[in-house]
Amino acid sequence: MLKSLLLQCRAGFEAECAAEITEHCSAIGVAGYPKFIPQAGYVVFELFADPLDVIQRVPFRSLVFVRQWCACLPLFEELPTHDRVTQLLDPIAQLPVSAELLAEVPDTTQGRELYPFAGKLASALAQQLRQKGIMLPRKARADWRMHLFVLSSQSLFIGVSPRRNGSSLDMGIRRLKFPGAAPSRSTLKLEEAWHWFIPQMEWSDRLGGGKTAVDLGAAPGGWTWQLVKQGMFVTSVDNGPMAETLMETGQVVHETQDAFYFKPAKPVDWMVCDVADKPARVTARMLEWALNGWCKEMIFNLKLPMKKRHEAVMQCLQMITDALDDAKITYRLSARHLYHDREEVTCHLDLR
């Protein structure tokens, strides 16, 4: 019987994951309570409502700390090692029909060691499900996606998520290859942000060559590198040195100034910011850019405090919402704890 949501997150952020799903369920009039183990990388949210209904009503992309989710069956424990699949077939038949099965594990050291096993089990399970007519062929159209979440060789969850209200990536993780030419690994944060916030079909229009950008707190140039790669002309603001390879492109002007005081001579297409400072101070600076119309779009990171991280993010987002609403400025604001983020959340503000 379905009665729970399984929510995956970065290890150490279970409390934030639990807090936001509790808030979102409360907003639609649904009660429940979270269960989790710190550093486990997932939360189980027990519902006093139909999980299949809830997982369709809460917008997945409105969640900040939840990477992946599904409405799940109760935990399967002590599965026989000689025939795990057979015991799973009848319970799975209760789930909505799907055509794909994602093999997933907690994003922890122990969990990642289980990933090859999870993949093999998922392959064997999918084959049996299709033979029994419980699962559709791979290329069939289905409204649901099945998840196999493995905790050990004998313990696992199975559930489903709506294809249009979830992530198609196993564990909700977009794995990107670090480009060797980039000056720092922080470059992956901006690349992942574009994948999450901007539909691929719009990249040529919104990120295409010839646009102008400002990178606040740029040195040594990990985010500037991504902007240059897209063909943009960039003003990189930082008192620290920029990578020589970037300066040699002819697309970068280095302004040795404090990122909190720089003002552009004229509006630009993009502003990006990965400054390490208090989230409220960064938020106030982003608002200054938005209220003055200095850019069309921005991506910025909020460095999280040690405690009350979910509360800090919500306060910053509310600060932006209140100010832009008062100014009657049209906008779209989104936030996401990306895979390449650590103690930070990435935000996108679209002011077009």
Residue for token pair 């209904």: 53
Q: What is the largest CA-CA distance in the chain?
A: 70
What are the residues facing 275 on neighbouring strands? none
Question: Is the separation of the CB atoms in 142 and 163 below 8 Å?
Answer: yes
The contacts of residue 225 (CB under 8 Å, 6+ apart) are 179, 181, 182, 183, 187, 243, 246
Question: Is the separation of the CB atoms in 283 and 302 below 8 Å?
Answer: yes
Is 303 labeled as catalytic in the residue annotation? yes
Residue 9 has what DSSP assignment?
Answer: -
The contacts of residue 157 (CB under 8 Å, 6+ apart) are 6, 70, 72, 73, 75, 76, 147, 148, 149, 151
The active-site residue out of 3, 303, 307, 328 is: 303
Both tokens of 243, joined, read 């990578």
Question: Is the separation of the CB atoms in 166 and 69 below 8 Å?
Answer: yes
Three-state SS for 12?
coil
Can you spell out the DSSP letters for 33-91?
EEE--TTSSEEEEEESS-HHHHHHHS-GGG-SS--EEEEEPPPB-S--TT-HHHHHHHH
Question: Which residues carry out catalysis?
Answer: 303
